[in-house]
Amino acid sequence: MTAALKVGIAGLGTVGAALIAQVARQREALAARCGRAIEIVAVCARAKGKDRGVDLKKMKWFADPVALARAGDIDVFVELIGGAGDPAKGAIEAALASGKSVVTANKALLAKHGVKLAALAEKHHVALNFEAAVGGAIPIVKTLREGLAGNSFERIYGILNGTCNCILTQMEQDKMPFAECLKEAQRLGYAEADPSFDIEGHDTAQKLAILASLAFGTKADQSAIYVEGISSITPADLLAAEELGYRVKLLGVAVKTDKGIEQRVHPTMVRKDSAIAQVMGVTNAVTVDAAGINPLTLIGPGAGGAATASAVLSDIGDIARGVRTSPFGRPSALLKNVRKAPMQRHEGGYYIRLLARDKPGTAATIATRLAEQEISLESIVQRHPAHVDTDAKAGSVPVILITYATTEDAVRKALAAVGRDRVISGTPQVIRIEKN
């Protein structure tokens, strides 16, 4: 009988404890599915005496994750420490250099150092698996890397941050402003005390960098992504979206264009009848557009101990079965550099909300400036008194424009001209519309 696969875990937080419990609970099933037993034989964490709700008595304790990574009695090193640098980075490098396969849930590290780590794994002929780094329990990494390996990808986009989706859902359903919904999300534990990493789109950008690499063969590079958060979204925008047949989501989007791979994170309007528009609360979703098949949407829990541990264990199971593929779906030497695509080149429809001054000639001036940039309008809506915009000022009328496909550059130039004409109050709200 094949010897058991011996696993060492660095990091015993919520995910690490859930992983140990799941391995114990599924011991027989895992052996049957993988052709060999999976045993957790060593662990590493900051505090040895902390009660984590799992039995660690038979496991060897390490105070140093790098020492665990180099230990001769483990086959697989599982990194659940987090962070883009050391000790996680040093420990993974030590494990790979020692000829051990690695499983990690560390999106920050992969977005910054993923290509170098992949090259190190390939050099030593070991696996570097990271299903849990994107989308929690959603098997999107395997889908892109293995399940759809024969397809040519055109676009991948998704809801990759449960905190933002939770806030936008509550804003829409309870008609509450952003600040109040953020406080509620913090109270419920869905948002951090300092939520900026989530709400400003950076968490989504790290995950998108990984997905874009898998889909398009680019080097994972968070700095190549345009990032915009959700803090500017108001209940007025969500109400308008609902009336126009849309819903607002924070999306990470990577799309193949004639000018290269465009990568962006921003609030987006999606049709209410699309699959991704139905995803509410803390749930994540990813839609894949590939040549020859209809769009494929995967939906599931994007975070949490059990969901993340499930993805980690799936990666361990692949190693137990002897499955090893290039971490990013192709040899790291073939991954291409990607430059940040200027958003001015982006093409698509736009939602524009203006506070137009209530005086003669305002509408004609706005229409003229849009026409000068060859922007065609699909619809124009002037808000009625029953739909008062809380951002509106005395003497201003909320006006909502939906454009046909145009460029970001044209929209920005037109709005700049309208601003110079002094026929609007405040800053226009602009939300991109994603074609579904």
Answer yes or no: 359 catalytic: no
Does the structural domain 5-137+307-331 have CATH classification 3.40.50.720?
yes
Is residue 295 within 8 Å of residue 288, measured between CB atoms? yes
Q: Given 107, 142, 207, 219, which residue is catalytic? A: 207
pLDDT in tens, the chain (436 residues): 589 999 999 999 999 999 999 999 999 999 999 999 999 999 999 988 888 989 898 999 999 999 999 999 999 999 999 999 999 999 999 999 999 999 999 999 999 999 999 999 999 999 999 999 999 999 999 999 999 999 999 999 999 999 999 999 999 999 999 999 999 999 988 888 899 999 999 999 999 999 999 999 999 999 999 999 999 999 999 999 999 999 999 999 999 988 889 999 999 999 999 999 999 999 999 999 999 899 999 999 988 899 999 999 999 999 999 999 999 999 999 999 988 888 888 999 999 999 998 888 898 999 999 999 999 999 988 865 445 455 555 678 899 999 999 999 999 999 999 999 999 999 999 999 998 7
The Cα-based distances of 251 to 236, 247, 259, 375, 392 in angstroms read 20, 12, 21, 24, 27
How do the domains of the chain map onto residue ranges?
5-137+307-331, 140-299, 343-433
pTM: 0.93
**What is the pLDDT, as a whole number, of residue 388?**
47
CATH number for the domain running over 140-299: 3.30.360.10
Helices (H), 175-201: 178-187, 196-199
- Superfamily the domain 343-433 falls into: ACT domain (3.30.70.260)
CA distance 157 to 348: 15
- Classify residue 136 as left (phi > 0), alpha (psi -120 to 50) or beta: left
290 strand-pairing partners = 153
**What is the pLDDT, as a whole number, of residue 188?**
85
